[in-house]
Structure 1
Amino acid sequence: MTNGSRIRRVRRTLLAGLVAAAVVIPVTAAASPDVPAPAPVVFAESATAQSRYAANLAGIGEAARTAQEAGRAGRAVKLRAMAAGSPGGDGAGARFLVFDGRGTGRAVEVFGDLGTADRVTVLVPGSDTTLDTYQRFRDGAVSLQRRLRAEHPSSAVVAWLGYDTPGTVSTTVLTTDRADRAAAELGPFLDRLRGMARPEVRVSLLCHSYGSVVCARTRTGPGVGDIVLYGSPGTGASSAAGLPTSARVWAGRGSEDWIGGVPHVRFGGVGFGTDPVDPAFGARIFAAGSAGHSDYLKPGTESLDSLAHIVIGSGSGSAGGPVSSVTGQEASHA
């Protein structure tokens, strides 16, 4: 196949996806109207984590009552479950740094103690993560926190649903527009988070699917030691060296992840370019086993072990677990 015919084929594939998305979007939008809720609590920069937890927990309760009164019983049930906390956590109850119940919603939940942790992991989700699907995101955070605490007790996990995620079948999932807006929120959040933690805390960003596009466009300071891209469609950048960070950049994909079949091209602002697990991208590769697209944080998986060892690792690239590096590609991130 010539280069010209290959480009034409890619264009047809992308256009077909856009046409399909254009048909689906009006249907899904009609089925999921915006949900009314009180405005989120506004905090002073000096507000403590504990004061944020208490105020946001009250806000979730008020949002549940508003949703119930508006005839959105399903949302009300899910909000009450959020407020009740997650079975299998550390028993301290639900702790939200951020909550906004309007529309598809936003939430930032903490598992563990930010004040004592010297390893803090921020999870950034991909498409179709909303308050209505929040439990699956929370389950992954709890699974990771359990795994980390078993080996490194002074750990905390932050589940960051701090942006409007695109739909899996939509035009927005094919561009960086939402990722650019999300990155503008995530960067300042990371700065504030460090202000709530120990001075020597090491922060890791674990970024799933479209969330990897967000992380790859987020400027991070020296406190972020690792950025991990998994289940990634690409980042919009041609190489790890082109990302706005000094952190080590990792990438992994399970053998059962369907996203490996997505064309890794970028044309006219559509698509995300180089595959992060391609040696040409220059990321350190971690072993993800047979993980499917939604399986990376499931208990007992090779991918979860690898992610935990990256977070716990001393920064040398040898975390004592099933992690491998791409030789000859790491100089800019070593």
Structure 2
Amino acid sequence: MMNSEFILGRNEVLPWINSALHLALTQLEEVASGAVQCQLMDAVHPGMVPMYKVNFDAKNEYEMIQNYKVLQDVFDKLNITKQIEVNKLIKGRPLDNLEFMQWMKSYCSSVNGGNMNNYNAVERREACKGGKETSKKAATAQPSSKSPSSAPKAQPPSRSTKRSDRHAGNRPRRAPRLLSADVCDALNDLLRRLKLLVYRLQKERAFYSGKLRDIEILCQNPEMEHLPIVGAIQKILTAADESSSSPVVAEAEAMAAARRQLQTTEAAPRTLSPIPEETSEEEETSEEEKPEPKAKQEMLKKRKNVCTLDVNMAASSTLSPRRRLSGSSDVHS
């Protein structure tokens, strides 16, 4: 069965860190430097972590990687096989850091029941770089607790209280009532079903947590992170509670509705204008070349005169046989 520590949310992990190490963290991304994890291991395994190598003031990736190297060395000494995904943790991704801190909570609880009452977190943190400044910030952020002298004094018990206690002490104590075997079996069966239900819920939670982590990685793709809808998804993933994510959800829904309306407008059929009737070139040519009735008559008359002239010329050039004979006789004479 999965450990119940893995179902803790950020609102439960942060108070545990602040209480154990006397810090005042407000966001889970503040543990991305790896310094908090090193001190948690120092709390459950005193003397195993070289705190002088831990940097609570780590800002850039190089300094954060040095903290995780210290943590990895401690894991190797203790034969802890947990894989530290440094490249994801130093980027401050909420889901990755939440998952790792859930594991840290589970591990610390498994060692001596997670008892850190005798651990002086402030004193141990002074050996770290930036540890004193971190402790000062935590001290100013935490509300000042009331001193013991200002606490109200307990009033002495009244006579009636003493009298009732005296009568209560004289009463015989009742023996605890034993449950029957059927009731015990029913309770054991109920307990078994509840454990099975918790296991299924934990498994389902881990499944959807993995889905959310995949969505977050996809939204950080350089080809998609500039899209407005991707920005809305990232705001929803990083929202601290439901009240802060509701406006983002409404904004994303409005954006999706506008997108659907635009797609519907683009997909709507466009009305085509009527195509004008085109006449063929032959019809246009015949209509242009068609002369008026009067012009046509004059043209026919000219053609007739030309034909008559051609016939006369042909007739004059071609003589009959009688004409030829008469011509020849004239020559001989």
Decide: shared fold, TM above 0.5: no
Shorter-normalised TM range: under 0.3
Structure with greater strand percent: 1
Structure of higher CA gyration radius:
2
Structure with greater helix percent: 2
